[in-house]
Structure 1
Amino acid sequence: MDAFEELFNSFSVEKRERLQDLFSSYQLTKAQRLILVKESADLELFQEGDIFSFLDFNKIDKQIGKRRGQELINQIEKRMHELRYTPTDYSTFFPPTIVRKKESIEKIYSDGLKLFGKCPCPVDGEKTRCCKLTTLDAAMQCSFGCSYCSVQAFYSENKIKVVSDLDKNLKNIDTSSIWHIGTGQASDSLLFGDSFNTLSSLADFAKSHSDIVIELKSKSPRNDFFNREYPKNMIFTWSLNAPTIIEKEEHLTASLAERLKSAVLAVKNGNLVGFHIHPMIYFKGWEKEYKEVVKRIEDTFDYKDIVMISMGTLTFTKAVLQHLRCNRTPSRVLEIPLAEAAGKYSYTLDIKREMFSTLYSYFSQDFKDNIFFYLCMEDPSLWKPCLNREYSCDKDFELDMKKAYFSKISSKL
């Protein structure tokens, strides 16, 4: 089944019949039919009605021949352009309450599994500035419901798999070319705390490899594991977002206050923390809400305790776009331009430049001078106008990050 068939068949029988009538009546080409079903799916996602609510059939039917079909498509594309190129309005969006699914949890052994990978940045030609992070899949699948999450498209089973012999696997890896390992790619790093000895195994590994940074990344409310000492090269980080986005798109995750509370506990426990303000979303009121996020960070933490702050925004692969459209859980994360971005789809560079430079401007000079700020998986051309610095290649970025991280870690020893 191709992408068109899969998406078309995801509609109700009634909707399929109405769409089929349009295909036939206006002699739509294959390309035009694909546009029609994609935009119909997106309007349902956005809770913005459907194409029949705004199409002007009187104007369409005044055209002759194939121009009728083109006029229909033009009207749809004009409406979608209006939605995608203006800040998203969440005041009119009310997603249904998402109920946490009862997932089964399976303990698996690492034999035969490839647990380590590379940062998902597209690296060919250095189209995005990449830090060359090594990823570790200690758990696979997530119980949260972030509407933009690519993890949901990776795994079809309603099952979370946790590696039960991580300590054994860590003892056998070649660390000669590794300095930075992140565990938040295939699941939330702190979803289970240390229930499966994941944190204990990572702590033992970090203790015996002081030249390697272990970074954990989370949106979880769990913080009961800060009852023991962790090596200083274990860094606890949290993804942060505007309260509106947490409420309407990051379902089942911890609130902003809960995430910051957990970070405070990490600092009190003697560890460095970091924050990923990611994915930033261009919505009505975004400037005010992200400014408040920055204020809460600066009011709560000393810059000496923060190793990094990253910024990034929505990016989607074709596979994830198809998954979101077929699944159609109400969301407005696709109400963006979907401009091509290094093989993925995102905001335009102009919108990104506005968001990132504005966010960075909210931070005090002390924070800017003493914390490593970076853009995550973004076009190299954005660095200079947004952060007032840039790198000629990924290697320079990686080396600068490494220097900054270990400088902060040594200050805690």
Structure 2
Amino acid sequence: MNTYLNKFNDSVKNTLFIKLPKNEQEFIKNKSLELKFSHQEIKQIIDIARDLSTWNEESIIKLFPDHNQKKVVFTRLRKAYEDIRNKPNSYENFELKNIPQEQKFTFKTEAKDGFGLGLCPVASEKTRCCNLLTLDAVESCGFDCSYCSIQSFYNQNTITFDSNFADKLKNLNLDKNKTYHIGTGQASDSLMWGNREGILDALFLFAKENPNVILEFKTKSDNIKYFLERDIPNNILCTWSLNTPTIIENEEHLAASLDKRLASARAVADKGVKVGFHFHPIVQYENYLSDYAKVYARLLKEFNPSEVALVSFGTLTFIKPVIKQLRDREFRSKITQMPLQDASGKSSYPDSIKVEMFKHAYESFTPWHKDVFFYLCMEEHEMWSKTFGYQYSTNNDFERAMLSSYSTKLDMEFLI
């Protein structure tokens, strides 16, 4: 017994065992001593217990099979767990836990090495990518979306500004005979900080001085005061990441409501700025298609396609560090309660679910197909033909089509 107890104690090291409720810790320990689970089985059981708690599902104690054979018990436990994972989520009785009610940050301004202009961090030849360039104007985001990968790269509570950002922008050497698409919403939200540390002043000046750059501000906020008070260069796009009220309320903590995001987009469009909308991630849950259909219908009703440059679709895609980070947090979320399959080295929904959600989304916007640029973000090449009915042969073809469409919409010259 002592030998196996030592083995058990070794197995729970570097796991989330200590974060489980005391009664679950004792239960798992006793069952492990009784059935002699292997090292890997113990680690998986701990992850199952942690996931069930995060998902606000029944405790592992209730789910645990009543049997005296280790193999039977573990097989049945895995099946019960996977059944819960694979069924469409329901937020009907979902209770949030430890979600911040207000934003509390430490702001830091420091000189940073390098500039932060580079390829989109998820760019890959394995997926069809638009070759977006990104500017890290700010590091870390003040929203607390439960699915966000930013939290695995930066300290969530420390917001860092580059003290040399404006000077670096002025000294950026770009080819004047080429059209660039640059986004500022990858390492943080583009608008939630407003003009703090002069970042919007610097970016607007950069856009004015580089008319061959399409500069995209991507946001989940309603902080558009700076845009409403100034003349805006015509090569600026302002885009909103949208979701259903169910997902916003339960998974996009501290972000603006759907109504506020759409009102902000409407106000910016009324100033003559071209806008866009990102549905990324589309999340499967009970009746999700009808909920998303209502949001799509609002866009068709509240915006003219001449005002809209783009609509994109994407879904949940995880790398292992992000899943580990989510398990480590003391909160509740149903985001990882989904059937996970390999997606070009990452984990995402099975193709059948993706086809359902993307095809439904694209067809919902049929009246806009000729006037607005639609695209899939971070999806394998074949997914385009399965959902859009066409696909691009290469990332460069995708990029050229996007830049040509945006340039036309913005009344810019398209420079290959």
Instruction: State the distance in 2 between where 1:260 and 1:51 align.
Output: 41
Instruction: State the distance in 1 between where 2:281 and 2:37 align.
Output: 36
Correspondences of 1:88-127 after superposition (within 5 Å):
88-96=89-97, 97-110=99-112, 112-123=113-124, 126-127=125-126
Structure 1 residue 121: Cα displacement = 2.3
Correspondences of 1:200-215 after superposition (within 5 Å):
200-215=201-216
Contact preservation (8 Å) 1:100, 1:144 = no
Instruction: State the distance in 2 between where 1:217 and 1:255 align.
Output: 15
Structure 1 residue 3: Cα displacement = 9.9
Indicate whether 1:277 and 2:279 are aligned: yes
Instruction: State the distance in 1 between where 2:12 and 2:120 align.
Output: 27
Correspondences of 1:48-87 after superposition (within 5 Å):
48-57=57-66, 60-61=67-68, 68-87=69-88
- The equivalent residue for 1:295 is 297
Q: Using a 3 Å threshold, how does the CA distance of structure 1 residues 178 and 17 change in structure 2: closer, same or farther?
A: farther
Instruction: State the distance in 2 between where 1:115 and 1:121 align.
Output: 15
Structure 1 residue 131: Cα displacement = 0.9
Q: Using a 3 Å threshold, how does the CA distance of structure 1 residues 3 and 101 change in structure 2: closer, same or farther?
A: farther
- The equivalent residue for 1:64 is none
Structure 1 residue 220: Cα displacement = 0.9
Q: 1:26 aligns with which of 26, 32, 35?
A: 35
Contact preservation (8 Å) 1:44, 1:328 = no
- The equivalent residue for 1:146 is 145
CA displacement, residues 143-202 of structure 1 (integer Å, 9 cap, x when unaligned): 211111111121236211122332201122232377111111111100111232211211
Normalised to the residue count of structure 1, the TM-score between the two structures is 0.92
CA displacement, residues 20-44 of structure 1 (integer Å, 9 cap, x when unaligned): 2233222212221222111111101
- The equivalent residue for 2:165 is 166
* Root mean square deviation, CA, Å: 2.1
Q: Using a 3 Å threshold, how does the CA distance of structure 1 residues 33 and 109 change in structure 2: closer, same or farther?
A: same
- The equivalent residue for 2:50 is 41
Instruction: State the distance in 2 between where 1:119 and 1:344 align.
Output: 16
Unpaired segments ≥5 residues, structure 2: 1-9
Task: Tell me which amino acid in the other structure corresponds to 1:369.
Answer: K
Task: Tell me which amino acid in the other structure corresponds to 1:33.
Answer: I
Indicate whether 1:16 and 2:18 are aligned: no
CA displacement, residues 45-83 of structure 1 (integer Å, 9 cap, x when unaligned): 0010221112221xx21xxxxxx2222222222222222
Contact preservation (8 Å) 2:134, 2:184 = yes
Task: Tell me which amino acid in the other structure corresponds to 1:291.
Answer: A
Task: Tell me which amino acid in the other structure corresponds to 2:163.
Answer: S
Q: Using a 3 Å threshold, how does the CA distance of structure 1 residues 247 and 142 change in structure 2: closer, same or farther?
A: same
SS of the residue 1:258 aligns to? helix
Task: Tell me which amino acid in the other structure corresponds to 1:11.
Answer: L
Normalised to the residue count of structure 2, the TM-score between the two structures is 0.91
Number of aligned residue pairs: 401
Instruction: State the distance in 2 between where 1:276 and 1:201 align.
Output: 25
- The equivalent residue for 2:4 is none
Contact preservation (8 Å) 2:248, 2:255 = yes
Task: Tell me which amino acid in the other structure corresponds to 2:338.
Answer: I
Q: Using a 3 Å threshold, how does the CA distance of structure 1 residues 227 and 127 change in structure 2: closer, same or farther?
A: same
CA displacement, residues 378-400 of structure 1 (integer Å, 9 cap, x when unaligned): 12111012111101111111111
Contact preservation (8 Å) 1:121, 1:128 = no
Structure 1 residue 2: Cα displacement = 10
Contact preservation (8 Å) 2:132, 2:181 = yes
Instruction: State the distance in 2 between where 1:6 and 1:162 align.
Output: 34
Correspondences of 1:345-356 after superposition (within 5 Å):
345-356=347-358
- The equivalent residue for 1:231 is 233
Task: Tell me which amino acid in the other structure corresponds to 1:319.
Answer: P
Instruction: State the distance in 1 between where 2:179 and 2:49 align.
Output: 46
- The equivalent residue for 2:260 is 258
Instruction: State the distance in 2 between where 1:396 and 1:30 align.
Output: 49
SS of the residue 1:135 aligns to? strand
Structure 1 residue 374: Cα displacement = 0.3
Task: Tell me which amino acid in the other structure corresponds to 2:211.
Answer: S
Structure 1 residue 221: Cα displacement = 2.1
Report the identity percentage. Answer: 35
Q: Using a 3 Å threshold, how does the CA distance of structure 1 residues 383 and 115 change in structure 2: closer, same or farther?
A: same
Indicate the larger mover: 72-81 or 221-230.
72-81
